[in-house]
């Protein structure tokens, strides 16, 4: 199987806390409150909201929201680079920007029971996952067969064979790898259990951490992976283990439509409106209605070994939904637009060095129900610190954004390394005002802070005429809408 590798150009930008002739530029490092004095409205409250992000019952209105234009049209020169703002300005219609306080969700057996009881039919058996001695021995047999196949391919002079590693052409290296893996397999086989313990199970109470297999009353098997630590709260997957190939992304800007997996592509038969209705029903049952779709796409599911294309077979086609908690704003799956190599920040202390993982859901659906469910980095809403946060006037926010661009864009590297001396031309496509998680100083909590997400890339017309590789990755610059400071996109300060 041949895979097409799309080479993405990586921007390298730098940012620093430096004054400019226009205005002082501030990087928020977690060493101060992210809300400047006087910026919180008189509507400020501090009340628990029981996980909801609906602030509509609070006092206040849109008095604190600045006036926004529908479009931002402007040209900025950054040390020879041209940055053109041809951007839609996307803001909420109600003009209300609440400030929610959030923290990591406590996940335990009761939390897992609530999730699994909604996502899955009742179980009949539970097996703590593992690999038996018989399974390990079969793996070793397949490994030996593959090594023999690779060895014959090398001795025959690299003919047009399938199921070989074309990068491994040296017999001595092959034998070295064989000896290393053979020793490992002997140890694995010796330590593997003769069998895995299976217990009768008619509900999802007291499900432990780790990898668990359930046999359902429908006769199907599912794999559940759950942890009370780290960013992945729980994943549920109906067997077999699949390879995923997607097409037709739908979110802020379309990614390229990927080609079908060889000739095995099958279209999704479930109508989109039915899939959305099934998704809404599931979210309601899970009490996760404040999650919104960041992107959706069709997915083909395959069973087999990706390194042995002849073993790959189509299993099913489904709709895939990626969702994030929107806090009443617009959902943005930030990982699509973040590259830490864009920015260089003073980390602001050890307490703020841990990566900030965005809370998200990934759900696959078809006519048979939930094919796969994953809840990453679960959080809970624990308070409402402001019913309507006062924001900077938009003309001041524009100045802050331009200043951030002027100190962040690494023009010299773009010009000399990537573009062979030509001045780059950039375009800002969209400026979106929505909530983004920001750390609270001296606390393990976060704010869902109103921020400007500035999506930019190479100018479309200029790129098509000067660059021979497609570049479909938008970059994002994040600016606090309350005080104008830049927010590190993956650290939250």
pLDDT at position 342 is: 53
Give pLDDT tens digits for 78-97. 888 889 999 999 998 888 89
| Measured distance between the N- and C-terminal CA atoms of the chain, rounded to whole angstroms | 43
Read off the pLDDT of each residue in 402-427 and give the average, rounded to a whole number: 75
**58/42 Cα distance (integer angstroms):** 12
Give pLDDT tens digits for 332-357. 877 777 665 555 554 444 433 455 67
pLDDT score of 456 more than 80: yes
Which DSSP string corresponds to 159-184?
-S-SSS-TT---HHHHHHHHHHHHHH
**197/220 Cα distance (integer angstroms):** 18
Give pLDDT tens digits for 127-136. 887 778 888 8
Give pLDDT tens digits for 273-290. 999 999 999 999 999 999
- In the chain, the percentage of residues whose pLDDT exceeds 70 is 70
Give me the long-range contacts of 285-288 (CB less than 8 A, separation at least 24): 285/118, 286/114, 286/115, 286/118, 286/119, 287/51, 288/361
Q: Is the pTM here over 0.85, yes or no?
A: no
Give pLDDT tens digits for 162-208. 778 888 888 988 898 899 889 888 888 888 878 878 889 999 998 88
């Amino acid at each position: 199987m041949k895979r097409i590798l799309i080479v993405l150009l990586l921007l390298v930008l730098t940012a620093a806390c430096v004054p400019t002739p226009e205005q002082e530029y501030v990087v928020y490092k977690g060493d101060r409150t992210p809300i400047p004095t006087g910026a919180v409205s008189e509507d400020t409250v501090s009340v628990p909201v029981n996980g909801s992000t609906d602030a509509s019952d609070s006092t206040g209105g849109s008095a604190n929201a600045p006036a926004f234009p529908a479009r931002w049209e402007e040209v900025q020169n950054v040390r020879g680079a041209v940055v053109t703002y041809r951007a839609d300005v996307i803001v909420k219609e109600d003009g209300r920007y609440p400030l929610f306080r959030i923290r990591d969700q406590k996940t335990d057996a009761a939390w897992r029971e609530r999730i699994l009881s909604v996502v899955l039919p009742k179980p009949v058996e539970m097996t703590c996952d593992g690999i038996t001695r018989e399974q390990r021995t079969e793996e070793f047999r397949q490994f030996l067969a593959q090594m023999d196949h690779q060895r014959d391919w090398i001795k025959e002079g690299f003919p047009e064979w399938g199921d070989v590693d074309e990068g491994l052409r040296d017999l001595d290296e092959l034998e070295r790898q064989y000896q290393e893996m053979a020793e490992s397999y002997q140890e694995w086989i010796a330590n593997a259990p003769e069998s895995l313990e299976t217990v009768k199970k008619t509900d999802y109470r007291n499900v432990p951490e780790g990898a668990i297999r359930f046999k359902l009353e429908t006769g199907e098997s599912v794999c559940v992976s759950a942890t009370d630590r780290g960013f992945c709260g729980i994943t549920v997957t109906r067997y077999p283990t699949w390879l995923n190939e997607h097409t037709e992304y739908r979110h802020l800007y379309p990614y390229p439509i990927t080609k079908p997996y060889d000739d095995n592509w099958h279209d999704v038969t479930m109508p989109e409106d039915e899939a959305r209705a099934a998704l809404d029903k599931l979210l309601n049952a899970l009490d996760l209605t404040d999650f919104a779709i960041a992107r959706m796409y069709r997915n083909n599911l395959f069973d087999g070994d990706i390194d042995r294309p002849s073993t790959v077979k189509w299993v099913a086609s489904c709709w895939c939904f990626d969702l994030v908690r929107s806090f009443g704003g617009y959902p943005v799956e930030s990982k699509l637009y973040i590259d830490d190599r864009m920015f260089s920040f003073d980390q602001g202390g050890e307490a703020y060095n841990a990566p900030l993982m965005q809370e998200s859901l990934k759900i696959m659906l078809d006519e048979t129900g939930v094919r796969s469910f994953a809840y990453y980095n679960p959080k809970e809403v624990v308070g409402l610190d402001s019913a309507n946060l006062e924001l900077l006037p938009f003309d001041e926010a524009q100045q802050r954004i331009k200043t951030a661009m002027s100190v962040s864009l690494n023009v010299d590297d773009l010009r000399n390394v990537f573009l062979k001396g030509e001045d780059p031309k950039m375009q800002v496509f969209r400026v979106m005002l929505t909530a983004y998680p920001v750390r609270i100083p001296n606390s393990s909590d976060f704010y869902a802070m109103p921020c400007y997400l500035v999506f930019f890339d190479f100018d479309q017309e200029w790129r098509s005429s000067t660059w021979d590789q497609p570049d479909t990755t938008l970059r994002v610059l994040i600016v606090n809408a309350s005080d104008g400071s830049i927010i590190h996109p993956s650290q939250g300060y």
